[in-house]
Amino acid sequence: MKRSKQINSSTASKQSRPKRQTAADLRALQRLTAAAIMRPLDADGRMRASQKSIAGFIKPNDRLTSFERLEIYNRQYWFRILDCFHEDFSGLRALLGEKQFQTLAVAYLASHPSTRFTLRDLGQYLIDFIKAEPRWVEPLREMALEVARLEWAHIVAFDNESRTPVFADSLLGLKPSQIHLRLQHYITLLKLNRPWDDYLIALHHGGGLRGEASNAMEMDAKPARQRALRRPRKQQVWLAVHRHKNTVYYKRLDAAQFELLTALKNGASLERALRALPATAKPPPVKAWFHDWSALGWFWV
């Protein structure tokens, strides 16, 4: 009998112990929390969840309910990424207007939430998103795509890596067929139907570099209203978006320059790229072009 009692006592002791949490339990909790935090806010800027559902995995404290504790993170997350998105795509925001841009931003960020430690890549899927779901930018789809391309190119120019540039003197003695010049990773070549570079320069008063966003934001922070600008008239523009001495520039090109640089970017040898140039009555000043581009450090091998 005594032995039986001891066994029963031991069993009861084991049953009263709290369950040991496993790595799988922690992952499940992380997923629940992340899903709640990344869920878009409602029209009043509040968390879309019930008190009961949040209380199931978040404890209250002596000052805040479970719902209030998690809502702080939900609101800060959305204020933070919306602020960065507004800053990165201020031209698109000016084009669409506040209301339509906000609707686009929430739809895009709900579909493509931040997944990296840096918010630099927040808008990397925006162009594809607009193509796949143009209803968010109608009736300005074509213009919205061009502005988004230009603004993403600005981010690429500001952040992408730079390789050791090659200069003309180092290529002396090589045949054009042996020369494969690569464009720096921060350069984007764009063919636009309107001068959106002028539009963005006017919008930013000639500035335009992204500023450092603060890690702390007020709970009721709202982006400043975007000033309205007249949309530019149609005009074919060939553009190289690049950086020089840590500043982003929009460099206008002509059609021949654009085609030559595009061929080099796509892997053509210098000889093949030059042969693809259209025949003209007067030979183009190719030597002067390469002198300027090389001085800007555009090429590497």
- The domain segmentation of the chain, as residue ranges, is 29-42+49-300
CB 174 within 8 A of CB 181: no
Question: What is the average pLDDT across 191-207?
Answer: 88
Q: Both ends of the chain: CA-CA distance in Å?
A: 87
Position 205: which residue type? H
Residues contacting 285, CB < 8 A, separation 6+: none
CB 196 within 8 A of CB 150: yes
**Cα-trace Rg, the chain:** 28
The predicted pLDDT at position 213 comes to 30
Q: Reply yes or no on whether the pLDDT at 218 is more than 70.
A: no
pLDDT tens for 175-187 read 888 889 999 999 9
> Phi and psi at residue 192, in whole multiples of 5°?
-115, 155
Q: Percent of the chain scored above 70 by pLDDT?
A: 86
The predicted pLDDT at position 283 comes to 86
Cα separation, 241 vs 189, whole angstroms: 6
Pairing mode of beta strands 247-253, 237-244: antiparallel
Q: Residue 219 — pLDDT band, cuts 50, 70, 90? A: very low
Q: Reply yes or no on whether the pLDDT at 221 is more than 90.
A: no
Structure tokens at 208: 């335009």
pLDDT tens for 117-157 read 889 999 999 999 999 999 999 999 999 999 999 999 999 99
Question: What is the average pLDDT across 5-15?
Answer: 50
Question: What is the average pLDDT across 96-124?
Answer: 93
Please tell me the pTM assigned to this model. 0.80
pLDDT tens for 11-24 read 555 555 667 778 88
For residue 195, say if its preceding peptide bond is cis, omega within 30 degrees of 0.
no
The predicted pLDDT at position 227 comes to 60
Who has greater pLDDT, 59 or 197? 197
CA–chain centroid gap for 176, Å, is: 37
Question: What is the average pLDDT across 47-69?
Answer: 86
Reduced 3-state DSSP string for the chain? CHHHHHHHHHHHHHHHCCCCCCHHHHHHHHHHHHHHHHCCCCCCCCCCCCHHHHHCCCCCCCCCCHHHHHHHHHHHHHHHHHHHHHHHCHHHHHHHCHHHHHHHHHHHHHHCCCCCCCHHHCCCCHHHHHHHCHHHCCCCHHHHHHHHHHHHHHHHHHHCCCCCCCCHHHHCCCCHHHCCCEECCCCEEEEECCCHHHHHHHHCCCCCCCCCCCCCCCCCCCCCCCCCCCCCCCCCEEEEEEEECCEEEEEEECHHHHHHHHHHHCCCCHHHHHHCCCCCCCCCCHHHHHHHHHHCCCEEC
Cα separation, 299 vs 163, whole angstroms: 8
Structure tokens at 105: 């931003």
